[in-house]
Amino acid sequence: MKTVIFDLDGTLLDTLVDLKNAVNHALNYFNLPEKDLEFVRKAIGNGTTVLIKRCTPSSLNDDERKKVFDVFKKYYLEHYDDYTHPYEGMKEMLENKLKGKVSLGVVSNKDNDLVNKIINKEFPGCFDIIQGSYLDHPKKPDPYLINKIIKENNLNREECLYVGDTDVDKDSATNAGLPYLLVNYGYRTKEEMKKLCPNDTTIADIDSLYNEIIKWVKL
């Protein structure tokens, strides 16, 4: 059975408002200027540590930035699902169209325990493989997490497809030697993806994504 590995934020789930709220809670705590939704959207992609670095003033040192991150993390762990929801049509595609025909996986730069909580809440029993990140190990676009999935689940690399929504996802798949599909309904627009990945065609909606997955799977 072939395997489709999905990115989480901006691909499976719209997590933007909860991330923005957590960022601004931490910034407010330290009397730092808030960031609007658009800024946070563009800052997402390399994990929450990098997100906080992009959202805090460059004048902060590493210790100060870590304190902001710790406040962000504590708040986000308590409010990660206030507004988070699957993109329209995603749950139906996974549960009613793909489940049982392909093995389903998810890989995220979010903390592994949190990824498991989110997926088990939003898509209970749907995913065969759930993989988040660890504090002292590389995050995407490093291939570590994808390679871990492939090794631990005895997968054939040639039978794995990666689906994501940013240039980080493209680089993650390329670094791991996987074919990939890129969507533009998530945290990068069609125009942004055209600049970031000029040689790739991106996918605008869930129905089109399903059709492309089926073409690859050759069901």
Instruction: Convert the pLDDT of each residue in 47-81 to its tens digit.
Output: 899 999 999 999 999 999 999 999 999 999 999 99
- DSSP secondary structure string for all residues of 67-108: HHHHHHHHHHHHHTTSS-EEPTTHHHIIIIIIBTTBEEEEEE
**Residue 219 pLDDT > 70, yes or no?**
no
> In terms of domains, do 123 and 178 share one?
yes
State both tokens at 129.
């493989």
Domain range for 71:
16-79
Number of compact structural domains in the chain:
2
7 is catalytic: yes
3-class state of residue 7 by DSSP: coil
**pLDDT attached to residue 45:** 84
> What percent of the chain is predicted at pLDDT more than 90?
97
Q: State the Cα–Cα distance between residues 12 and 163, nearest whole angstrom.
A: 9
Residues 156, 124, single domain; the answer is yes
Boundary (domain end) residue, out of 40, 57, 79: 79
Same domain, 105 and 209: yes
Averaged pLDDT, 175-194? 96
Q: Catalytic pick from 7, 111, 165, 169?
A: 7
Note the residue count of the chain. 219
Partners of 180 in beta bridges: 162
Q: 164 Cβ partners below 8 Å, 6+ apart?
A: 6, 7, 10, 11, 170, 172, 173, 180, 181, 182, 183
Overall pTM > 0.85: yes
Report whether pLDDT(91) > 90: yes
pLDDT in tens, 4-41: 999 999 999 999 999 999 999 999 999 999 999 999 99
Measure the CA–CA gap between 63 and 80, rounded to whole angstroms: 25
- Mean pLDDT, all residues of the chain: 96
* pLDDT for residue 102 is more than 90: yes
3-state secondary structure of 163: strand
pLDDT of 218? 85
Q: Are residues 72 and 114 in the same domain?
A: no
Task: Please report the pLDDT score of residue 151 as a whole number.
Answer: 97
